[in-house]
Amino acid sequence: MRKTTLNILMILATIGLFSLNFTPVFAQQVLIQIMGGGYRLDGPSLIDFPAQTASVTGAVTSERSIRDITDPKPYLQVSDENGGRPFDIQVTALNPLESAEGNTIALTNFLVKNTSGTGNDIDTIQGRSDGLTLNSLLDEYYQDPPANTIPNDLSATKVLATGVGQLPGEWRIYPGFRIDIPSSTDIGTYQTNITFTII
């Protein structure tokens, strides 16, 4: 009798130990995919140049840095929400500068450069500073100064900057513009539209 009782107690003790050490575990793999959001550009709605007096003896120039604009956005802001591919920031002017009277200034006289002369050429608002690089050919209104052999004019599309497309971020750049007004240009207010594009 004593032997049977002991055996039963040992079985119960073994079951109790097994129950105390058994902790159920259920593991689940977790995945999250971060999607690229795309690109954005933001900047001033108007680039207005200082007035110039017409000349019959030679060309005169008028310059405007985007920093000098009184618009609430005196910069061109580039946002890459990890679009996932390299991109270019381009600037284009499709039509010559034209007055209400129908007189024009050719786009070969409308020049662009990347540097504004004061402050940083690129301000990194968010992200990494190496996510966007300015086109060094547009450091001045002419390439290879002082020889001034190749004008950076808007008779053709110009690439202002290149983004790597894999580093999300937000940057501000500060292009400058110059209009060379030929001698004997008729008086008037001349205008054209320029377009900034991410390609």
* Confidence bin at 12 (pLDDT 50/70/90): very low
Determine the straight-line distance between the first and last CA of the chain, rounded to whole angstroms: 93
Q: Which tokens hold the place of 34?
A: 């971060």
* Confidence bin at 116 (pLDDT 50/70/90): low
Residue 1, pLDDT score: 43
Residue 123, pLDDT score: 94
- What residues have CB less than 8 Å from 191, skipping those under 6 apart? 97, 98, 99
> Cα(175)–Cα(66) distance, rounded to whole angstroms?
6
Q: Greater confidence, 153 or 27? A: 153
Residue 180, pLDDT score: 95
Residue 21, pLDDT score: 57
Q: What is the mean pLDDT of residues 94-101?
A: 94
3-state secondary structure of 41: strand
3-state secondary structure of 11: helix
Q: Greater confidence, 117 or 131? A: 131
Q: What is the mean pLDDT of residues 79-91?
A: 88
- At 33-53, the pLDDT tens digits run 766 678 899 999 899 999 999
* Confidence bin at 27 (pLDDT 50/70/90): confident
66-70, 107-111, 151-155: which range is least confident on average? 66-70
Q: What is the mean pLDDT of residues 73-97?
A: 90
193: pLDDT strictly greater than 60: yes
Between strands 97-98 and 60-65, the pairing is: unpaired
Q: Which tokens hold the place of 21?
A: 């050490």
89-98, 130-139, 144-153, 166-175: which range is least confident on average? 144-153
* Confidence bin at 30 (pLDDT 50/70/90): confident
* C-beta separation of 83 from 127 below 8 A: no
What's the mean pLDDT when you consider all of the chain? 84
